[in-house]
Amino acid sequence: MSKRNLQGSWKAVWIGGMVGATAALLFAPKSGKRLRRDLVRGAQDLRDTTSEWAKDASYSTQKAVKQVSGYASEWSDLARGMARSVLRVRKAKPRRGLLWR
């Protein structure tokens, strides 16, 4: 199983656990005050976890952008160098033919 699928599976398990915990809280015989306190704690945990996921996603995205930008720069430099080489060869040796018009 790939790392991406494994992460998605853990997130699904976690979300399912949160839904199950919320349902258990709502149907458990507790006082209203205690139930509200437990729901607030659950909401805070959910907020903290989603905040961590957002930070992780942001970091991964920034890392990918830097990597792609580096590749684009390398390819651009390579293409520029190849174009200069072609122009030098063309100026140095004028020929006739399909590529040399």
Q: What is the pLDDT of residues 24-71, one digit of tens each?
A: 777 777 777 887 888 889 889 888 988 888 898 899 999 999 999 989
Q: Which amino acid is at 4?
A: R
The tokens for 58 are: 């942001």
pTM of the model: 0.46
d(CA 6, CA 12): 10
Distances, alpha carbon 49 to alpha carbons 5, 6, 16, 45, in Å? 19, 17, 14, 6
CA distance 42 to 34: 12
